[in-house]
Structure 1
Amino acid sequence: MDDPQPNPWLALLCAWLLALIATLSVLFVGEVMGQAPCNLCWFQRAFMFPLVPMLAVACFLSDGTVWRYALPVAALGWLVALYHNLLYFRVIPEAIKPCGMGPSCSGSDMMVLGSLPLPLLSLGVFSLIIVLLLIVRRRLSA
């Protein structure tokens, strides 16, 4: 019996939901709670926000080829998030500060559930989106 063509739609839907929840969450923190993002958070937003409409259209059209242009966007966001986390957790010397002048994401009010910093959550979401897009890619090439 022939296996049906693997459908990447569920992975696309999960990736879109992650991007949507992340986007709505940071908009809530910024606009409702009034917490201004630091410079590196702004860059991460610049890579997360376009993923929402990009992946929504791909879900609507069941277009698995979206991985070709969504994956580089997510990967660039992941790199910024990784750099931000290296600074946040002081792996990179403290002389380089993303939150030095102006708003800071290192305060206790920028923690989720009391212990998860926003930069770490951003890295996690970008990582999950990348994994899901790689699953889409693999299912299309199967």
Structure 2
Amino acid sequence: MHKRLENSLIFIWTVSLVATLGSLYFSEVRGYEPCTLCWYQRILMYPIVLISGVALFQKNARIALTTAVFAVIGGSISLYHYGIQKLSFLSDSAPSCGNVSCTGQYINYLGFITIPFLALVAFVLIFITSILILKWQKESK
């Protein structure tokens, strides 16, 4: 396996691990109860840690399509979630979201960094890296 493929797998694993640990920190340490959309994002992020970890151990970059799909779906949910937090025309029509409002913002660093924003950044980084892996694999054939 080329070094850039291995480094890319390490990057995907690291980003997904940091995102997973961050979400657990917010809920288990800070006591922020996740809303329904946060749970959907977790459902799509947590497996990436396992998938990319096993792929790294096996030196198998063929998982890039799988991580890309998880990242696109998770990123779409994150983008929508961020939108209903920050855009009034979306938040006014946002559906109710369980016990915790999906429009609530536990954190709002610098006026724009919320938990869904952090998840979106992680999903985008994973998606871009996955696409690069797919491109490099195609070029090497």
Q: Indicate yes or no: 2:12 matched with 1:24.
A: no
| 1:49-128 aligned within 5 A | 49-90=46-87, 91-97=89-95, 99=97, 101-104=98-101, 106-107=104-105, 109-112=106-109, 116-128=113-125
Stretches of structure 2 lacking an aligned partner (at least 5 in a row): none
Q: How many percent of aligned residue pairs carry the same amino acid?
A: 28
Q: CA deviation at 1:31?
A: 1.0
Residues 54 and 111 of structure 1, relative CA distance in 2, 3 Å threshold: same
1:12 aligns with 2:14: no
CA contact (8 A) 2:64 2:130 kept: yes
Q: What are the ranges of 5 or more consecutive residues in structure 1 without an aligned counterpart?
A: none
Higher relative contact order (Cα pairs below 8 Å, separated by 6+ residues): 1
Moved over 6 A (4+): none
CA shift, 1:103, in A, is 2.3
Query: Of the candidates 43, 47, 72, which is equivalent to residue 44 of structure 2?
Result: 47
Mapped partners of 1:98, 1:14: distance in 2: 36
**Structure 2 CA distance for aligned equivalents of residues 140 and 5 of structure 1:** 10
Distance 1:78 1:71 in 2: 10
Deviations along 1:45-93, whole A, 9 cap, x unmatched? 0100000000001111111100122211111101111111221112525
64-73 or 123-132, larger mean C-alpha shift:
64-73
Q: 1:57 to 1:132 in 2, by over 3 A?
A: same
The alpha-carbon distance between structure 1 residues 58 and 23, as it changes in their structure 2 partners (threshold 3 A), is same
